[in-house]
Chains A and B, each alone.
Chain A
Amino acid sequence: MTKYKTVKIERRGAGWGGPMYITPTAEKPYIACCTGMAIHKVAKEIAKLTGGELRDAFRNPPPFEQMACMVTDCGGTARCEMYPSKDVPTICVFPISPPATSKLGDKLNDLLITGINSPKCVTLVEDNE
């Protein structure tokens, strides 16, 4: 029995990758957000639906291994490469495409989705059990 639920994250317009499924666990409870001055509404929606715990990953970052996912407003170079390189599923609010030169290659297919700028991109996956 778990208190956490799964969400599906998918693009509703321009962007790259996905869909992505996020389920926090006792070991990975944090919905981390690194988007400037405020916690982004996408991160708030993921936390609300899954039961995960919101964390400002710029000012108070949890360890990578405790992050269920990371919501970022990366312009394409730094954070969209850094967080997937640490095996953290990364959700970018801007519709960037990763550079073809990315060292992460196919790993990004599983760990990066971009263009997720609205809570409407996040839906609860109903439990069929």
Chain B
Amino acid sequence: MIDEIMEGSMRILYESTITSIGSSVQGLLDEKICIFFAENAPEELKEISVCHTHEKPPWYNFRSRDIIRIGDQELEILAIGKVAMKTFKELGHFSIKFRQRDDIENMLPGDVLVEFNGNLSLQEGMKIQVVRI
């Protein structure tokens, strides 16, 4: 079982593929929030979420400075809330907050705070990876 794939000095900690983008996702992106759930989530959560395959939970907990890649976009993790890894492992659920909106002091326990400048582009079929450099 390969849970970690080495690519040069970069380790891939997690991989999945976007399966659907809910109707409320763009509105949340405008508020600098992006919510993820596994594709078997109920409809009401799909509406607000980017759903992804989430076939296998990550072997390692993510940490700050790991990179979330969505397509060819790179989001650097600045901080991870206390319960974020639990809900990610079990439900494929992340609430990503972009730093423009929140700083570390007012993070919620489920938040993953990231640095990303520009407008996140999302499409069905895009690969999601979490990598450690």
Find out whether the CB atom of B81 lies under 8 angstroms from the CB atom of A82: no
| Stretch of A20-28, A46-54, A55-63 at the chain-chain interface | A55-63
- B119 CB to closest chain A CB (Å) equals 20
Confirm or deny: A96 has a beta carbon within 8 angstroms of a beta carbon on chain B.
yes
Q: Which of A54-80 contact B (CB under 8 A)?
A: 57-59, 61, 64, 73-79
- B86 CB to closest chain A CB (Å) equals 7
Confirm or deny: A36 has a beta carbon within 8 angstroms of a beta carbon on chain B.
yes
Find out whether the CB atom of A79 lies under 8 angstroms from the CB atom of B109: no
Contacting residues, chain A, for B84 (C-beta < 8 A): 75
State how many residues of chain B have any CB contact under 8 Å with chain A: 26
Q: Which of B64-110 contact A (CB under 8 A)?
A: 81, 83-84, 86-87, 89-91, 93, 95, 97, 108-110
Contacting residues, chain B, for A79 (C-beta < 8 A): 45
Find out whether the CB atom of B81 lies under 8 angstroms from the CB atom of A75: yes
Contacting residues, chain B, for A64 (C-beta < 8 A): 44
Find out whether the CB atom of B95 lies under 8 angstroms from the CB atom of A76: yes
Confirm or deny: A37 has a beta carbon within 8 angstroms of a beta carbon on chain B.
yes
| Cα of A86 to Cα of B86 in the assembled complex, Å | 25
Confirm or deny: B48 has a beta carbon within 8 angstroms of a beta carbon on chain A.
yes
Known: A57-B42, A58-B42, A61-B42. A78 touches B48 (CB 8 A): yes
| Cα of A74 to Cα of B93 in the assembled complex, Å | 10
Specify which of B91, B108, B110 is in contact with A58 (CB 8 Å cutoff): B91
| Cα of A58 to Cα of B93 in the assembled complex, Å | 12
The 8 closest A-B pairs by CB, nearest first: A75-B110, A76-B108, A36-B90, A77-B95, A61-B42, A75-B83, A76-B110, A78-B35
